[in-house]
Structure 1
Amino acid sequence: MSKGLIGVLTIGQSPRTDVTPSFEKILGEEIKLIERGALDRLKMEDMQLISPDLTEQTYISRLRNGEAVKIGKQRLLPLLQRELTELEMNVEVVMMLCTGDFPTLNATKPIIYPDQILTHTVQAISPTGILGLIIPLEEQRETLIEKWATCNLTLITEVASPYEKSDVKGAAERLQQHGADLIVLDCMGYNEHHKKMAIVGSGLPVILPRTLTARIALEYIEK
């Protein structure tokens, strides 16, 4: 018998078979996941419609065929809202599968936002010092630095995508060499192997958003 229903809302396409095993390991078999994706109803030939232009914030996610896709935020929001509205009718709480911020989304059920969990966690355990960020895309650098600026930490960044072959270990090593005290893998696409490589490369504590978010969800829904 299920102990609870958690919605998983990705900005790409569901199912996110690259992520949900991490959730299931933490949540256990008695909690059921129901997935939706902002791009679920788009055909491959229509994917160019959500490509970012030079003036808007860029996100990256995964299609169900395993390919990565770049998404413009303004094109994403109405698609995300449509899927959220339907998803929350069938679940108790929704986990956002993105570390971006989405303050304009309207919801009737609680939404667990990884970006808020990350920033508050870092502030709690490392109120001063140097924070190293590993991020998926070069074009996200300025936006993510602005997001993390509220933590009043010195920020240094390296780029290593979780969706293609990249040197996460080397990125983490460079962050350590530049004085980082803590590393955050700032994307839900990073997995436990990426975290291990970052630890090996840096010898520093590394925060993985997907497992942190799942543990918060379990704390909320477990009765």
Structure 2
Amino acid sequence: MTVKSIGVLTIGQSPRTDLTPSIQHILGDSVIIVEAGALDRLRDDEMHSIQPEGQDSTYISKLRNGQSVKIGKSKLLPLLQEELNKLEEQVSTVIMLCTGDFPAIEHKKPLFYPDKILSQTVQAILDKGKLGLIVPLEEQRNSLTKKWDASGLELCIEVASPYHESDVEGAARNLKEQGAALIVLDCMGYNEDHKKDAIKGSELPVLLPRTLTARIAAEYV
């Protein structure tokens, strides 16, 4: 059996013990996962340096200590690029562990963007109607609305964090009441239990980025 390696790059700190097991399960034992994180080199007392400022887009990810951290996109990009450069030296393919868009990132190896996979999947499934989004932070509502506007679909958005106790089931129920035909959990932090809660609350199809992306990557590797 040939063993292949694939990199996973988080915008927070690695290892992502809350996330990579889901991906490993889908990729199978013949694939070795190599992890890296944009914030790996930062100490806890340096995390203030990457906080969002002004109109900068806000992201959220997890640290090794189990806490979550908000990250400004402009401060994230150079850190992400440096870690990707090092990761590409060890693997043949990389999965980005974030549903954000990063057009400025340069890569030499195939790079799987959950953002692109989600948008293309939604367009393949839903050519008209209302798309429901569940997002981690209230301050992401406007930026994610702009991102999904390109789909041409009517949008409705609810907030429920994957990193803190929140009501994903209730958020999904609200989206159904607003007329959503399909729900996207728009963050790699959402897990299989969150998806079950969303389905329970809405009785609608729900897309989970971590497993969807892993299945596409499994087809490739």
TM-score, normalized by length of structure 2? Answer: 0.99
Q: 1: distance between equivalents of 2:212 and 2:41?
A: 29
What is the deviation of 1:2?
A: 4.8
Alignment partner, residue 203 of structure 1: 203
Alignment partner, residue 117 of structure 1: 117
Q: 2: distance between equivalents of 1:144 and 1:217?
A: 24
Q: Are 1:100 and 2:100 counterparts?
A: yes
Counterparts in 2 of 1:166 and 1:2: CA distance versus 1, 3 Å: farther
Q: 1: distance between equivalents of 2:48 and 2:216?
A: 35
Alignment partner, residue 189 of structure 1: 189
Q: 2: distance between equivalents of 1:3 and 1:142?
A: 43
After superposition, give the CA deviation of every residue in 1:86-116 in whole Å (9 maximum; x if it has no partner). 0001111100000000111111101000000
What is the deviation of 1:121?
A: 0.3
What is the deviation of 1:54?
A: 2.3
Structure 1 unaligned spans of 5+? none
Code of the residue aligned with 2:216 in structure 1: it is I
Counterparts in 2 of 1:32 and 1:41: CA distance versus 1, 3 Å: same
Alignment partner, residue 87 of structure 1: 87
Q: 2: distance between equivalents of 1:20 and 1:151?
A: 29
Code of the residue aligned with 1:152 in structure 2: it is G
What is the deviation of 1:3?
A: 2.8
Q: 2: distance between equivalents of 1:154 and 1:27?
A: 34
Code of the residue aligned with 2:159 in structure 1: it is V
Alignment partner, residue 166 of structure 1: 166
Q: 2: distance between equivalents of 1:28 and 1:144?
A: 32
Query: Sequence identity, in percent?
Result: 63
Code of the residue aligned with 2:185 in structure 1: it is L
Q: 2: distance between equivalents of 1:61 and 1:54?
A: 19
Alignment partner, residue 54 of structure 2: 54
Q: 2: distance between equivalents of 1:63 and 1:78?
A: 18
TM-score, normalized by length of structure 1? Answer: 0.98
Q: Are 1:39 and 2:42 counterparts?
A: no
Alignment partner, residue 130 of structure 2: 130
After superposition, give the CA deviation of every residue in 1:52-100 in whole Å (9 maximum; x if it has no partner). 0122000000001110000000000000000000000111110000000
Structure 2 unaligned spans of 5+? none
Aligned residues: 221
Structure 1 outlier segments of 4+, above 2 Å: none
Code of the residue aligned with 1:125 in structure 2: it is I
Alignment partner, residue 144 of structure 2: 144
Aligned-CA RMSD value: 0.7
